[in-house]
Amino acid sequence: RDAHEDSCIRVLVKAQIAPLREELETSTEEKIQGLKASSEEMIQGLKAAHSELQRDILLSAATSGDSHTVALLLRRTGMPVDFVHPDHGGETLLFIASRWGHFDLVGLLLEKGA
């Protein structure tokens, strides 16, 4: 092959590589944006599941009269002391603790503003 032929081959290869590179960059950017959106959705789902788990643990602790766990979770989660568990008929922690006779917990909840 001569120099002219080599030059022509290089031009052809570059002409084909440029659109491929552009497509790859565009495709990659779109994929990155898609992954970011997907990650945000996943994070929101995890946060919702985490909040639901915190409510369930608080409810269980109140049902069993575990004042220490209730106090700890209220402090760490920022959950309001008078929250209503959506799956528990509108009952508050105070109602649950009093129904089960956990009067130490009732006192704690009243001190915290229930």
CA distance readout (Å), 29 to 16, 37, 86, 100: 20, 12, 41, 57
Average pLDDT (37-63) is 91
Domain ranges of the chain: 3-111
Q: In sequence order, what DSSP letters do the residues of 56-100 get, joined into one string?
A: HHHHHHHHHT-HHHHHHHHHHH---TT---TTTTT--HHHHHHHT
Lowest mean pLDDT among 13-22, 31-40, 96-105: 13-22
CATH number for region 3-111: 1.25.40
Q: Which long-range contacts (CB under 8 A, 24 or more apart) does 64-68 make?
A: 64/100, 64/102, 65/97, 65/100, 65/101, 65/102, 65/104, 65/105, 66/105, 67/102, 67/104, 67/105, 67/108
In sign, the C-alpha dihedral spanning 66, 67, 71, 72 is negative
pLDDT digits (tens, 9 = 90+) for 55-86: 999 999 999 999 999 999 999 999 999 988 88
